[in-house]
Amino acid sequence: MQEEVLDYLTRHTSETGTSPLRISESRVRYTPDHKPIDFTTAPNDRPDKIGVITHGSLNQGVEMKLDAAEPIEDVVAGTFVVIQGAQYDFFSLITDVSIDAANENILLNPPSQDDELLRRVMQGMGTYATVALKPMLMMDNRRHQELAEEEPRAVKTVPTHFSLVARATEDDVARIFGHETHDDGKTFFHVGQPLGMDAIPVCINLDRLVERSNAVFGKTGTGKTFLTRLLLSGTIKTGKAVNLIFDMHSEYGLRARQEGGTAFVKGLRDLFPSRVSIFSLDPRSTRMRGGSADEEVFLYADQIEPEDILPLQDTLNLNPTAAESSFLLKNKFGRDWLRRLLQAEGAEIAEVAETIGAHPSSIEALRRKLLQFTRYDFFSTASSKGKRDVLDALLECIDLGKSVVFEFGRYDALKVYLLVANVITRRIRDAYEKKTSLYLQSQKAADKPPQLMITIEEAHKFLAPGIAHETPFGKIAREMRKYFVSLLVVDQRPSAIDEEVLSQIGTKIVAQLNDDKDIGAALVGTSDASALRKVLASLDAKQQALLLGHAVPMPIVIRTRTYDEEFYRAMQGRDRPAPATLEEAKQQMDDLFG
């Protein structure tokens, strides 16, 4: 049989002048209207081909035989490639790479290191490499000109045997992920480049980003803060959302030290001076870093609710009985519950316990744990009546379209962060529910609340399985989309976040994670999670991340955009003056969202 095939190929070459090595280019296939396609002149023949499809299935993905001339060490998991099928282009990710041999005897008797010629002869013949691909989207092939403008859609079939595979081009990336030039930078925002494709931008759709909660995951040192700054800059630059950022370590508002170095990078107010305000628990610290606080924040005991201290159970080592006592106190004393508790001494503690039906030891334990907040300058047991309310100032900024960076300064202890972020967010949530109710009743554009995105670090402390359903952050993640509020969750331990919350997250940027439980949690609610696990496990520790979810058509590994002078210049000219009145702010929102 081999002799017959070789004889046919030899005769074909002598009669037609076509090399046997290129005979596959002469195959005739047909379009749906039965017109033949000439593959030797097809405009969809791609440069930078790396192999052909040999095996596969719709569920498990497909397998490519790597071209013998292609160095296997240049083929990296997470690379964006395109399979050129007969009717469709399949946009795919490389998920695995393996090596094999046509004959096991070769592996049992490998050539020596000195026999370079034999090793090169065997490469591609006796030995070969295979690459696992996961098709993510398919689009009608550009050879069919009448179908060229169709949108990509979910993969419902597989390419034919021997379909060519090539690295994606800049045009492919723009077709799938959009480009900032498509609408003058109003919707698409550049966040990075595909692996091995420098200077080719991958964009996210900001309209889709802000309408659901999102997450930035990655272990410590992977650059989560810089990724978060990129996303925040995009929403501020375009006005797609107003941001409330709980800045635990003073890294977002003003200039901050670059991670792993001595250089400093610009903060959000440096980039957008008229669009960002700084609220500070520690104005002195803000001034020492060369800035000034727009609002000095004070917290009063009568502004705190029992659910605000639930995330503090682990941090303060509160037992469940002590936490339950806070609800009993609230039922009895109303808004004055915390002040009454903190000011009780000696026999008064037993009286309070008897009054509410709690054990004195649990009341004493709760008082002792919460009393430590009274030593902070920003906290007061006095009544908040007649005092400037931080919520009023926050809502005023948000209504004017100004984002707020909430700095903690020297009060960066986790217990302070958890308490303050909970108190502020709960009150913001209540205010937005009322605003939305008014808008639904009036149906006037002027009453529509601005889209708000709340950024929290150490998110697993707020969204742990036992408390997520009771904290304001848990409710926002699950229900607040209809109230124009979403979260941007920043965390290094996604496995510690409630699964129901994880399933509600729309878009994720996932940097390197080492723990298998964290990798699995980061992919909760994601189709093709098994293939993406391999991709996540292969990420570098710096400037690489897997981008997936609601704001992008398909998952892709990116080299994240650098937060540097070039980025600063890209932001210049985008900072519109802050509106002087609420009416002017509403008009700007109407212009943006129609």
DSSP 332-388: HHGGGHHHHHHH--THHHHHHHHHHT--HHHHHHHHHHHGGGGGSTTEE-S--TTSP
Q: pLDDT tens across 308-319, in order?
A: 988 888 888 888
pLDDT, mean of residues 36-46:
47
Residue 563 above 60 pLDDT?
Answer: yes
The architecture (CATH level 2) of 204-298+388-593 comes to 3-Layer(aba) Sandwich (3.40)
579 neighbors 401 (Cβ within 8 angstroms)? yes
Three-class SS of 65-100: EECCCCCHHHCCCCCEEEEECCCEEEEEEEEEEEEE
Helices within 443-544 (DSSP H only): 472-479, 499-504, 516-522, 529-537
Q: Which residues lie across from 64 on neighbouring strands?
A: 53, 131
CA distance 6 to 20: 9
Q: Which residues lie across from 94 on neighbouring strands?
A: 133
Would strands 379-380 and 49-57 be described as parallel, antiparallel, or unpaired? Answer: unpaired
Of residues 373 and 32, the one with the higher pLDDT is: 373
294 neighbors 279 (Cβ within 8 angstroms)? yes
Q: pLDDT tens across 199-246, in order?
A: 899 999 999 999 999 999 999 989 899 999 999 999 999 999 999 999
Instruction: Give the lowest-confidence range in 249-253, 413-417, 528-532.
Output: 528-532
Q: How confident is the model at residue 591 (pLDDT cuts 50, 70, 90)?
A: low
User: Which two tokens mark 448?
Assistant: 């529509």
Taking the CB of residue 8, how many other CB atoms lie within 10 A of it? 12
Element (H, E) at 592: helix 582-593
CA distance 242 to 435: 15
Q: pLDDT tens across 405-434, in order?
A: 999 999 989 999 999 999 999 999 999 999
Amino acid identity of residue 190, one-letter, is H
Dump strand ranges (E) for 19-60. 29-30, 36-37, 49-57
Return the pLDDT at 41. 37
Residue 250 above 80 pLDDT?
Answer: yes
Q: Which residues lie across from 133 on neighbouring strands?
A: 62, 94
3-state class (DSSP) for residue 8: helix
CA distance 405 to 276: 7
Return the pLDDT at 29. 38
Return the pLDDT at 578. 52
Write phi, then psi, for 55 (nearest 5 degrees).
Answer: -140, 175
Q: How confident is the model at residue 133 (pLDDT cuts 50, 70, 90)?
A: very high
* Mean pLDDT estimate for the chain: 85
DSSP 290: T
Would strands 295-296 and 299-300 be described as parallel, antiparallel, or unpaired? Answer: unpaired
* pLDDT-above-70 percentage for the chain: 85
Element (H, E) at 491: strand 485-491
User: Which two tokens mark 546?
Assistant: 């897997």
Taking the CB of residue 469, how many other CB atoms lie within 10 A of it? 13
Closest CA to 304 of 281, 333, 283: 333
CA dihedral of 385, 391, 392, 393, whole degrees rounded to 10: 120
Write phi, then psi, for 194 (nearest 5 degrees).
Answer: -65, 155
Closest CA to 401 of 277, 560, 570, 547: 277
CA distance 555 to 80: 9
Q: How confident is the model at residue 7 (pLDDT cuts 50, 70, 90)?
A: low
pLDDT, mean of residues 571-577:
60
Residue 198 above 90 pLDDT?
Answer: no
301 neighbors 380 (Cβ within 8 angstroms)? yes
CA distance 157 to 134: 12
CA distance 376 to 381: 11
Taking the CB of residue 298, how many other CB atoms lie within 10 A of it? 17
Which residue has 């379209």 as its token pair?
401
Return the pLDDT at 145. 46
Domain ranges of the chain: 23-168, 204-298+388-593, 309-375
Dump strand ranges (E) for 155-247. 164-167, 188-194, 202-205, 214-217, 242-247
Amino acid identity of residue 411, one-letter, is Y
Let me know if 100 is exposed, middle or buried by CB neighbors in 10 A (0-12, 13-18, 19+).
exposed
What pTM did the predictor assign?
Answer: 0.83
Closest CA to 432 of 408, 454, 415: 454
